[in-house]
Amino acid sequence: MKALAIRQYGGPEQLQIMETALPKPNHKEVLVRIHAAGINPVDYKIRSGSLSWISGSKFPKILGGDIAGVVEQADKDSVYKPGDRVFAMLSIKGGGYAEFVTVKETQLCLIPEVISMQDAAATPLAALTALQGLQIRGNINEGDKILINGASGGVGSFAVQIAKAMGANVTAVCSTKNIAFVKDLGADEVIDYTKKDFTDTDNRFKKVFDAVAKSSFNKCKSIMDENGTYITTLPSPAIFLHKALNLLRKQKAAAVLVKPLGTDLTFIADLMKKGIVQAYVQKAFPLAEGAEAHKLIETERVRGKIVLTVIPD
Ligand SMILES: NC(=O)c1ccc[n+]([C@@H]2O[C@H](COP(=O)([O-])OP(=O)(O)OC[C@H]3O[C@@H](n4cnc5c(N)ncnc54)[C@H](OP(=O)(O)O)[C@@H]3O)[C@@H](O)[C@H]2O)c1
């Protein structure tokens, strides 16, 4: 099969189209013919080698943690049948920038009929991070004040919509050019970080979700309520130290590490089916132009998501 893969760690130019073996599904796995693959910042972090302690030294390596496609082959007793439209977040091994991939059934979910392959591919990793991050230290209740930093990005754009779906009052932090976008997502208040430090406010939040990991617990303490939680998407050594200190204080610090759970994706798919949550795809690139897509995601300026198209809709 055709895949966009790397033979060594390095810049975007390492991404090359190559012929690789068709993956074989094990028991409780499904072979999916990929129509579109989502792009996430973790993809370029793996490509560059900065996560090599996790991604290892086996090459060629097919990147890509998000896919949408059609079931090609499944176990006889599987809940999935050939022809089903499915999407999934893959494990850290990746494999999404290709014509086919095998996926554990527990990571899969049917794509709601109304959702395109591109929008489906743009969703799993970012939306799961948003959902699982927002749920840290308890569910959100009606009227809870939640601040989302990086509201215009992949994780942030889903977080605004999911928090609103849970009944939260959402303050979104973004730059001037994205104010209208985050208001369309449903944000109640918007803070333009290019004009004002978002921690310079009298409001107090139950949760501060730092979707772009550009702030810190110490900086956000003053805008969290007495029992408030700061949640970052960057699980750094500092945050582990903070987690130990959590035992001694009411305000808490936490980091989300996304899990590829089909059950959580089903929850998100239901919100998408009802039109409550949507993926926003800024740009779709053909598979062969993956290097250009990587250059764009590395700018940290993407609005919503970008995807690779393997089979056009
Ligand atoms: N721990 C996990 O399990 C996990 C899972 C998913 C993602 N992540 C990490 O989470 C981070 C965000 O992921 P993503 O997919 O949302 O990234 P992304 O889509 O590439 O984020 C880009 C967005 O971030 C905004 N942004 C950049 N700098 C900002 C700042 N200083 N303040 C506020 N907004 C800013 C940009 O808006 P402007 O152009 O307006 O600045 C842009 O819309 C990445 O580091 C990623 O690796 C971690």
48-73 pLDDT, tens digit each = 999 999 999 999 999 999 999 999 99
* Residue of the CA atom closest to atom 34 of ligand 1: 150
Q: Is the CB of 153 under 6 A from ligand 1?
A: yes
Q: What is the pLDDT of residue 215?
A: 97
Q: What is the pLDDT of residue 244?
A: 87
Residue 104: pLDDT above 90?
yes
Q: Tell me, in angstroms, the distance from the centre of ligand 1 to residue 28's CA.
A: 34
Torsion of CA 167, 171, 177, 180, to 10 degrees: 40
The mean pLDDT value for 247-267 works out to 97
Condensed to tens digits (0 to 9), the pLDDT of residues 217-250 reads 999 999 999 999 999 999 988 888 888 899 999 9
Residue 106: pLDDT above 90?
yes
Condensed to tens digits (0 to 9), the pLDDT of residues 155-185 reads 999 999 999 999 999 999 999 999 999 999 9
The mean pLDDT value for 89-101 works out to 97
Q: Is the CB of 150 under 6 A from ligand 1?
A: yes
Domain boundaries, the chain: 2-123+279-309, 127-255
- Structure tokens belonging to residue 112: 């709601």
Ligand 1 pocket test: pick from 182, 233, 236 the residue with the most ligand atoms within 8 Å of its Cβ: 233
Q: What is the pLDDT of residue 237?
A: 87
The mean pLDDT value for 33-56 works out to 97
CATH topology of domain 127-255: Rossmann fold (3.40.50)
Q: Tell me, in angstroms, the distance from the centre of ligand 1 to residue 287's CA.
A: 23
Rounded to 10 deg, the angle between the 262-273 and 154-165 helix axes is 70
Q: Is the CB of 129 under 6 A from ligand 1?
A: yes
* Residue of the CA atom closest to atom 15 of ligand 1: 154
Q: Tell me, in angstroms, the distance from the centre of ligand 1 to residue 229's CA.
A: 19
* Residue of the CA atom closest to atom 45 of ligand 1: 212
Q: What is the pLDDT of residue 239?
A: 82
Residue 128 C-beta-side C-alpha neighbours within 13 Å: 27
Whole-Å CA distances, 193 to 47, 171, 179, 198, 201: 30, 12, 10, 6, 12
Rounded to 10 deg, the angle between the 290-298 and 41-48 helix axes is 100
Q: What is the pLDDT of residue 242?
A: 87
Q: Is the CB of 199 under 6 A from ligand 1?
A: no
Q: What is the pLDDT of residue 61?
A: 98
Q: Tell me, in angstroms, the distance from the centre of ligand 1 to residue 255's CA.
A: 14
Q: Are 253 and 230 in contact (CB under 8 A)?
A: yes
Residue 105 sits at φ, ψ, to 5 deg, of: -55, -35
Is the pTM higher than 0.95? yes
Task: Name the average pLDDT for the chain.
Answer: 97
Query: What number of other Cβ atoms are within 10 A of residue 52's Cβ?
Result: 12
Whole-Å CA distances, 143 to 6, 29, 140, 231, 275: 47, 41, 8, 19, 21
How far apart CA 305 and CA 163 sit, in angstroms, is 18
Residue 261: pLDDT above 90?
yes
Torsion of CA 90, 100, 310, 49, to 10 degrees: 50
Ligand 1 pocket test: pick from 125, 232, 300, 301 the residue with the most ligand atoms within 8 Å of its Cβ: 300
2-123+279-309 CATH: 3.90.180.10
- Structure tokens belonging to residue 250: 């009411």
Residue 211 C-beta-side C-alpha neighbours within 13 Å: 32
Quickly state the pLDDT bin for 14 (edges 50, 70, 90): very high
